[in-house]
């Protein structure tokens, strides 16, 4: 009888342990096989409602998002992308220059000397890639950290280059950068019809990428983050105006909450730790950015 009671206790213990495990999803054990960061250069948050961006808005509808994420100061491409891949806030480094504080790194000094999502991924033997529209972004990728780096002339070419490589090599971590909205904003203005058209061209390229990922059967294993480096006002993004420093941040994936508006304050440098977390890698504790865990189910 004593042995029977012990056996029954063990069965009940195992049953309730399993019940606890399966009734509480463990967000700390994410293990996406692929993460893709898409930065739309100069994407202003309010443009999501003024331009016809059916693919970006589809990600917003079926993913988690905030339209009030913050980029860095100064809100310019290289500094913002550096923060994005290093998880660091550049305002804590460098020297003062007028009302800006210089970044701890500039392209004049060469490649970034900070640890990046790419260098961390390579330590885990993951495949990394970058497809960009501005050659200066190569400074985010010191030698040995990015397996494949390619510069495209426009979003259509960049998307095509990525899709060919994705199908062939299936990289685990990819950064895709689309340049047109920023270029058009500087030339015609962030409030112009041409700017909205440039966004729609990028949106079509994002749709092409989504279709390709789904077609090759990798969508369920992929986290996609769409964000921007800065917005813009008139023909510039030099001042700390809300339309410049507030950016959209959207995440989409099989374990990402649907139609969820992120409650916490999101910064562009939260992107790196969130992506590493999704890949099952613990982000460096000294990073300013933290994983946005609330988006995961």
**pLDDT, tens digit (0-9, with 9 covering 90-100), for 142-181:** 889 999 999 999 999 999 999 999 999 999 999 999 999 9
Q: Residue 13 falls within a domain, yes or no?
A: no
Q: Residue 215 falls within a domain, yes or no?
A: yes
In the predicted model, what is the mean pLDDT of the chain? Answer: 87
Q: Residue 22 falls within a domain, yes or no?
A: no
Give the β-pairing of 260-261 and 64-70: parallel
Q: Which residue has the higher pLDDT, 197 or 136?
A: 197
pLDDT at 133 over 50: yes
Condensed to tens digits (0 to 9), the pLDDT of residues 196-233 reads: 999 999 999 999 999 999 999 999 999 999 999 999 99
- Please give the residue range of the domain that contains residue 287: 29-295
pLDDT at 141: 86
- Helices 193-215 + 155-169 axis angle, to 10: 10
Condensed to tens digits (0 to 9), the pLDDT of residues 17-54 reads: 343 333 333 455 478 999 999 999 999 999 999 999 99
Interval 70-95 mean pLDDT:
84
Q: What percent of the chain has pLDDT over 70?
A: 84
- The pTM is what? 0.87
Is residue 112 within 8 Å of residue 295, measured between CB atoms? no
Give the number of domains in the chain: 1
Q: Band of the pLDDT at 74, cuts 50, 70, 90?
A: confident
Is residue 1 within 8 Å of residue 273, measured between CB atoms? no
Q: Residue 35 falls within a domain, yes or no?
A: yes
CATH of the domain at 265: 3.40.720.10
pLDDT at 15: 40
pLDDT at 114: 83
Q: Residue 119 falls within a domain, yes or no?
A: yes
Is residue 295 within 8 Å of residue 99, measured between CB atoms? no
State whether residue 53 is helix, strand or coil. coil
Tokens 């330590």 -> residue = 123
Taking alpha carbons only, the member of 113, 65, 107, 54 closest to residue 261 is: 65
Q: Residue 284 falls within a domain, yes or no?
A: yes
Q: Residue 5 falls within a domain, yes or no?
A: no
Q: Residue 184 falls within a domain, yes or no?
A: yes
């Amino acid at each position: 009888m004593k042995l029977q009671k012990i056996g029954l206790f063990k069965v009940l213990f195992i049953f309730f342990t399993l019940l606890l495990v399966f009734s509480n999803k463990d967000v700390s054990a994410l293990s996406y096989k692929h993460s893709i960061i898409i930065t739309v250069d100069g994407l202003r948050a309010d443009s999501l409602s003024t331009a016809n961006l059916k693919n970006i808005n589809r990600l917003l509808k079926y993913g988690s998002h905030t339209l009030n994420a913050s980029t860095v100061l100064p809100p310019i491409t290289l500094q913002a992308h550096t923060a994005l891949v290093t998880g660091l806030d550049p305002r804590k480094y460098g020297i003062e220059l007028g009302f800006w504080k210089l970044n701890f790194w500039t392209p004049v000094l060469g490649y970034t000397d900070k640890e990046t999502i790419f260098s961390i991924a390579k330590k885990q033997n993951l495949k990394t890639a970058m497809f960009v529209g501005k050659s200066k972004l190569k400074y985010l990728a010191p030698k040995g950290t990015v397996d494949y780096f390619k510069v495209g002339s426009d979003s259509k070419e960049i998307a095509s280059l990525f899709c060919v490589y994705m199908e062939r090599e299936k990289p685990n971590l990819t950064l895709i950068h689309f340049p047109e909205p920023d270029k058009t904003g500087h030339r015609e203005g962030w409030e112009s019809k041409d700017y909205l058209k440039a966004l729609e061209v990028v949106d079509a390229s994002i749709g092409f990428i989504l279709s390709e990922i789904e077609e090759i059967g990798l969508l369920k294993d992929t986290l996609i983050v769409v964000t921007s480096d800065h917005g813009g006002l008139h023909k510039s993004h030099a001042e700390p105006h809300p339309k410049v420093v507030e950016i959209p941040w959207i995440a989409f994936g099989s374990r990402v909450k649907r139609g969820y508006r992120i409650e916490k304050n999101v910064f562009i440098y939260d992107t790196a730790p969130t992506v590493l977390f999704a890949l099952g890698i613990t982000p460096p504790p000294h990073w300013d950015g933290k994983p946005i865990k609330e988006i995961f189910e």
